[in-house]
Amino acid sequence: MENLRLSVVVPSYNEGERIPQTLKALDAYLKKQNYSYEIIVVSDGSKDDTAKVVEKQKETIANLRLIANIENHGKGYVVRQGMLEARGEYRLFTDSDNSTPIEQVEKMWPYFDQGFDIVIGSRDAKGAVLDPPQPMLRRFLGEGFGLLTNMIVGTWGIQDTQCGFKAMTAKATGEILPLCKIERFAFDPEILAIAKLKKLKIKEIPVLWKNDTRSTVKFNSMVKMFFDLFKVRLNMIKGVYGGRKK
């Protein structure tokens, strides 16, 4: 089997309308590159025709794979599932709405070449471009959650834990993701917290992020994320994630 350079994992829930455009954009860019790749869509128990639509896309996208879950588990679960089933030397997960264009992956390669284990996109790092800018309330809530994340699970030094554009080496994937327990809201901070415990090298880079002004911050989701952070902290105290890498 050919050694794959890049796996792109796209977690999806009820994305039957948007996913074709995203997959075409991913494939149009990646097939022009000089490295091998695969695209993996993980449907999280979608109630619409997401799985059927993705299967149809296989007719024109040769490197497309589908994992169709019958039940809904949560974004953290399906990201972990897709990343662990991926075959690439480097594994990226990205949002199904294509909020961060796949072209931004090119910013990551220099840091992997320098030996970083994880490279994450950031909407807050200097040089990031948000189009259009986030509303004041959403930005305030995001910054507040970021501070809580740092305080509770120790992700100090990372400005944006929640951007859905993160890549890691196959080795780092195998070290981190089998230990993850959070299936829904705070899976991103959990990944980063474990990486820090393992002394893995993390690089945060500014990216272009297309802000969907129709999206709203759900207070209920924020509360659940808050409690998930304490679950991560408790797991850290109990040693669930293991000790530090020597």
Q: What is the pLDDT of residue 175?
A: 97
Over residues 59-76, the pLDDT tens digits come to 999 899 999 999 999 999
Average pLDDT for 236-245:
82
The proportion of the chain whose per-residue pLDDT surpasses 90, expressed as a percent, equals: 80
Fold category of 4-238 in CATH: Spore Coat Polysaccharide Biosynthesis Protein SpsA; Chain A (3.90.550)
> Quick one: three-class SS letters along the chain?
CCCEEEEEEEEECCCCCCHHHHHHHHHHHHCCCCCCEEEEEEEECCCCCHHHHHHHHCCCCCCEEEEEECCCCCHHHHHHHHHHHCCEEEEEEECCCCCCCHHHHHHCHHHHHCCCCEEEEECCCCCCEEECCCCHHHHHHHHHHHHHHHHHHCCCCCCCCCCCEEEEEHHHHHHHHHHCCCCCCCHHHHHHHHHHHCCCCEEEEECEEECCCCCCCCHHHHHHHHHHHHHHHHHHHHCCCCCCCC
Q: Quick: pLDDT tens for 83-94.
A: 999 999 999 999
Q: Give the pLDDT band of residue 160 (cuts 50, 70, 90).
A: very high
Average pLDDT over residues 188-209: 97
* Domain range list for the chain: 4-238
